[in-house]
Amino acid sequence: MIDKAQLSEKLSEQITLTEKKIVGFEEMSAPVTPDDAIGRISRMDAINNKAVQEAALSKAREKLTKLKVMQANLDDPKLGLCKRCGRPIPTGRLLLMPESAFCVRCSR
Ligand SMILES: [Zn+2]
């Protein structure tokens, strides 16, 4: 059985965390202006970092959406159960990979 109370609590935690992360990424991926008093190499670095941060940002946004969907579906009796074998998926795995619909065994 899935401990829904625990899952709900952990979900809220993860949502708060992910939201904070998104704010952080948004601040870091502010546009790189040519006026910045940095050399060409560090500007390249800044641009590379920006790409990395933008990727991380979109990933975090995606995760947030999935977490919220899961939170909205907490009452669904099938939530947290493997779509293939019907066994409960551990809460830790659910939170780490909210997009995962299968247990560890079935996802291999
Ligand atoms: Zn399974």
Residues, the chain, total?
108
Average pLDDT over residues 20-32: 82
Ligand 1 centroid to 52 CA: how many Å? 33
pTM of the predicted protein model: 0.76
The whole-number pLDDT of residue 32 equals: 63
Ligand 1 centroid to 53 CA: how many Å? 34
The whole-number pLDDT of residue 46 equals: 79
The conformation of residue 61, written as its DSSP 8-state character, comes to: H
Q: What is the pLDDT of residues 66-96, one digit of tens each?
A: 999 999 999 998 899 999 999 999 988 988 8
Provide, for the chain, the percentages of residues in helix, strand and coil under a 3-state DSSP scheme, each rounded to the nearest 5: 65, 0, 35
The whole-number pLDDT of residue 33 equals: 65
The residue assigned the tokens 């790409």 is: 51
Ligand 1 centroid to 85 CA: how many Å? 4
Task: Check pLDDT > 60 for residue 37.
Answer: no
pLDDT tier at 22 (50, 70, 90 boundaries)?
very high
